[in-house]
Amino acid sequence: MVETKAAWKRIIARALEGYAAEKGVAAPMPAADAIVLERPPTSELGDFGFPMFPYAKLLRSAPALVAQAVARIVERDPAAARLGGAAAEGPYLNVRLARPAVVAEVLARAGSPAWGRGSALRGKKVMVEFSSPNTNKPLHLGHLRNNVLGESLSRIMSAAGAEVRKIDHFNDRGVHICKSMLAYQAYGEGRTPADEGLKGDHFVGKYYVLFNKLMEEDPKAEEKAQELLVRWEAGDAEVRALWQRMKDWVIGGIKETYARTLVSFDLYDYESDTYQLGVDSVLSGLEKGVFYRNEDGSVWADFEDINLDKKVFLRKDGTSLYITQDIGTAIARHEDWPYDRLIYVVANEQAYHFKILFETLRRLGYAWAADLHHLAYGMVNLPSGRMKTREGTVVDADDLIDELASIAAKEIEAKGREDAVGDSRAVSDRIALGALHYYLLQTGPMKDMLYDPEQSLSFTGDTGPYIQYMGARASSIIRKHLAGEGNAVKGDPDPGLLASDADWELVKQIAALPEAVDSSASAMEPSIMAAYLHDLATAFSAWYRDNPVLNNPDADLAASRIELVKAVKASFEAACALVCVPFLEAM
Ligand code: ARG
């Protein structure tokens, strides 16, 4: 469809030139890619339309007159004749495409393995950092939003032609890490996650929470945590050994959660590996006057000129801070893999942090600081009263997925679908993820949102399971056909037969996929893909309710519609993958 639209823009541009020549207007006419294309309010008016207002002044004619003249010229254009027909409607020129040719092309494209790919980011190198947990506790609901945003955006950008590198940054150094270590020293008695039957991340998280108890019992606990950090930064072997042990537990547990939620990375980086580069960069920036030293020895920079505060980069004891390591991390990344863009998917609470970070890198003289982007997202809450977790405040990611999967399993049971779905445990997990991911992506990232588990799991409405269900319907039609059921086996497919308005609307919805991928990638908005899927599901649902496929008495029409269902299925599969909603053959 992209090519067809481009071809029509060229036809219109030529016609405008023709009209200008007739009228003796010397002013240059707009180039083809500057021609505005719109979708008419109803499809009866045409497949797309061109408003003539923008050219009226140039051509010194009323828009409606321009439309008529252009229609007259287009009628004689042989390229236009192959692609359909155009008619003036008031100030618009509306185009009706030649359906059989477009249908044949769309079906052919949807049948190729490359279906669902766009081209907006061809040749670009994009690094996407997401998830990036601290290594002192398990993932929570906010991480689930982060993870699906990052994973989905990466898949979409890569589908739009970019070379994408997905990075997870573990903040594995700092006072917060030392706190869980201190609490473990106080209460752990050398136990391991296996001893307590806990996932490693949950085990360490338990001790991080126990630090609160330690503070009640030991007024010096905070101070001790800071001392432990000094020893850690000095490379104290004993401290490092405990640190490494606890860090491996946490990361092992977190990676299990990634695997279960379909999230993966090309590279893991660790604050502990890059913070020193951050320290060195701050010290050399100090010589260049980018930073200044306070009397107490701490190192600062002043951002008043851009209406931000003063900010500390090195503590008086020389230990580094969150911002310090991010400087080192950014420099190391750009050296390692020079990119066109680096996107940090991080909660909007950190907007200030990233402003300071990007500005500091710019002041340090890195031109690529202009290619850094903070993709901020809002908070996720559950309806009040749901799921009190062990910590009482945050909702644990693993617990939530378990709960969603068990609700989905009950639903399968209630519908008596265990046999139909096959491995009902695996399918419940996949429905749970479909529900969660779709719900989290459907809203644009910036807004805070309420996650309603029951609503997200509903099989009707604007939900993941509804989309999975429609995908499964398409699969089931094809399965039956391949098993020899229905009338289509007796017919021959012919795209020319798919010319009814109903078939045509569905074809256009299929054809819109590559453009949806491109606009989603360019806007960095996975919600555009979610909306595409919902439109496809509703279009397919209406179509197959009213248009018999397998049992169509006309065998050739039945066979042609099977081809259409295959294209629908291919589009579901491609688009579902981009929003991390598992495709289901049966449900
Ligand atoms: N670990 C941090 C947190 O949990 C987020 C890290 C974001 N990424 C970064 N490069 N600063 O708040």
- Listed in sequence order, the DSSP H helices in 422-525 are 424-442, 453-456, 464-482, 501-511, 513-523
Domain count, the chain: 1
Closest Cα to atom 11, ligand 1: which residue? 326
- Going from the Cα of 337 to the center of ligand 1, the distance in angstroms, rounded, reads 20
- Going from the Cα of 446 to the center of ligand 1, the distance in angstroms, rounded, reads 17
Task: Specify the higher pLDDT residue, 155 or 27.
Answer: 155
The CA distances from residue 577 to 355, 438, 584, in Å, are 33, 11, 11
Pull the structure tokens for residue 146.
Answer: 């982060």
Contact 374, 350 (CB under 8 A): yes
Terminal CA-CA length for the chain: 32
Evaluate: CB of 372 within 6 angstroms of ligand 1: no
Pull the structure tokens for residue 317.
Answer: 């004891």
d(CA 27, CA 127): 45
Q: Answer yes or no: is 6 within a domain.
A: yes
pLDDT tens digits, 216-254: 999 999 999 999 999 999 999 999 999 999 999 999 999
d(CA 406, CA 375): 33
User: How many Cβ atoms from other residues are within 10 Å of residue 453's Cβ?
Assistant: 18
Q: Name the packing angle between helices 501-511 and 555-578 (round to 10°).
A: 30
pLDDT score for 386: 61
- Going from the Cα of 235 to the center of ligand 1, the distance in angstroms, rounded, reads 23
Contact 161, 122 (CB under 8 A): yes
Q: Residue 151 pLDDT > 60, yes or no?
A: yes
* Model confidence band, residue 387 (pLDDT cutoffs 50, 70, 90): low
Evaluate: CB of 130 within 6 angstroms of ligand 1: no
- Going from the Cα of 171 to the center of ligand 1, the distance in angstroms, rounded, reads 7
- Going from the Cα of 170 to the center of ligand 1, the distance in angstroms, rounded, reads 8
Please identify, by atom number, the ligand 1 atom nearest to the C-alpha of residue 346: 7
Closest Cα to atom 6, ligand 1: which residue? 132
Q: Answer yes or no: is 481 within a domain.
A: no
Please identify, by atom number, the ligand 1 atom nearest to the C-alpha of residue 134: 1
Q: Residue 413 pLDDT > 70, yes or no?
A: yes
pLDDT tens digits, 537-562: 999 999 999 998 998 999 999 999 99
Residue 183's H or E segment, with its range, is helix 175-187
Pull the structure tokens for residue 221.
Answer: 């606990």
The CA distances from residue 535 to 47, 92, 282, 463, 575, in Å, are 17, 26, 51, 12, 12
92-97 β-sheet, strand order: 48-51, 92-97, 84-89
DSSP single-letter state for residue 261: T
The CA distances from residue 222 to 134, 173, 183, 216, 227, in Å, are 18, 16, 11, 11, 9
d(CA 568, CA 510): 6
Evaluate: CB of 330 within 6 angstroms of ligand 1: no
Q: Answer yes or no: is 362 within a domain.
A: no
- Going from the Cα of 167 to the center of ligand 1, the distance in angstroms, rounded, reads 12
Average pLDDT over residues 128-152: 97
Average pLDDT over residues 471-483: 97
Q: Residue 388 pLDDT > 70, yes or no?
A: no
Evaluate: CB of 116 within 6 angstroms of ligand 1: no
- Going from the Cα of 323 to the center of ligand 1, the distance in angstroms, rounded, reads 10
pLDDT score for 550: 92
Q: Answer yes or no: is 583 within a domain.
A: no
d(CA 565, CA 474): 6
In sequence order, which residues have a C-beta less than 8 Å from that of residue 310 and are 6 or more positions away? 300, 301, 302, 303, 304
d(CA 252, CA 246): 10
pLDDT score for 389: 47
pLDDT score for 385: 60
Evaluate: CB of 132 within 6 angstroms of ligand 1: yes
* Model confidence band, residue 462 (pLDDT cutoffs 50, 70, 90): very high
Evaluate: CB of 326 within 6 angstroms of ligand 1: yes
Mean pLDDT of the chain: 94
d(CA 123, CA 121): 6
Report DSSP letters for 485-497, one per residue. Answer: -SSGGGS---GGG
d(CA 261, CA 401): 9
Average pLDDT over residues 157-182: 96
Evaluate: CB of 324 within 6 angstroms of ligand 1: no
In sequence order, which residues have a C-beta less than 8 Å from that of residue 6 and are 6 or more positions away? 32, 33
* Model confidence band, residue 280 (pLDDT cutoffs 50, 70, 90): very high
Pairing of strands 310-314, 299-302: antiparallel
- Going from the Cα of 490 to the center of ligand 1, the distance in angstroms, rounded, reads 60
Please identify, by atom number, the ligand 1 atom nearest to the C-alpha of residue 170: 1
pLDDT score for 392: 54
Evaluate: CB of 325 within 6 angstroms of ligand 1: no
- Going from the Cα of 434 to the center of ligand 1, the distance in angstroms, rounded, reads 26
Evaluate: CB of 171 within 6 angstroms of ligand 1: yes
* CA torsion angle 18 20 23 24 (round to 10): -110
Q: With pLDDT > 70 as the criterion, what percentage of the chain qualifies?
A: 98
In sequence order, which residues have a C-beta less than 8 Å from that of residue 129 and are 6 or more positions away? 150, 167, 168, 169, 342, 343, 344, 345, 346
Pull the structure tokens for residue 293.
Answer: 């030293």
* Model confidence band, residue 420 (pLDDT cutoffs 50, 70, 90): confident
* Model confidence band, residue 418 (pLDDT cutoffs 50, 70, 90): confident
Quote the distance between the C-alpha of residue 529 and its chain's center.
Answer: 8
Q: Residue 15 pLDDT > 70, yes or no?
A: yes
d(CA 333, CA 274): 10
- pTM, rounded to two decimals: 0.94
Q: Answer yes or no: is 445 within a domain.
A: no
Quote the distance between the C-alpha of residue 121 and its chain's center.
Answer: 15
Q: Answer yes or no: is 471 within a domain.
A: no
- Going from the Cα of 130 to the center of ligand 1, the distance in angstroms, rounded, reads 8
Task: Specify the higher pLDDT residue, 27 or 555.
Answer: 555
- Listed in sequence order, the DSSP H helices in 188-236 are 193-196, 200-217, 221-233
Q: Answer yes or no: is 36 within a domain.
A: yes
The CA distances from residue 310 to 283, 299, 320, 543, in Å, are 17, 10, 16, 61
Contact 93, 70 (CB under 8 A): yes
Q: Answer yes or no: is 557 within a domain.
A: no
* CATH number, domain containing residue 62: 3.30.1360.70
Q: With pLDDT > 90 as the criterion, what percentage of the chain qualifies?
A: 88
Evaluate: CB of 133 within 6 angstroms of ligand 1: yes
Q: Residue 390 pLDDT > 50, yes or no?
A: no
Evaluate: CB of 134 within 6 angstroms of ligand 1: yes
- Going from the Cα of 332 to the center of ligand 1, the distance in angstroms, rounded, reads 16
Range of the domain at 77: 2-97
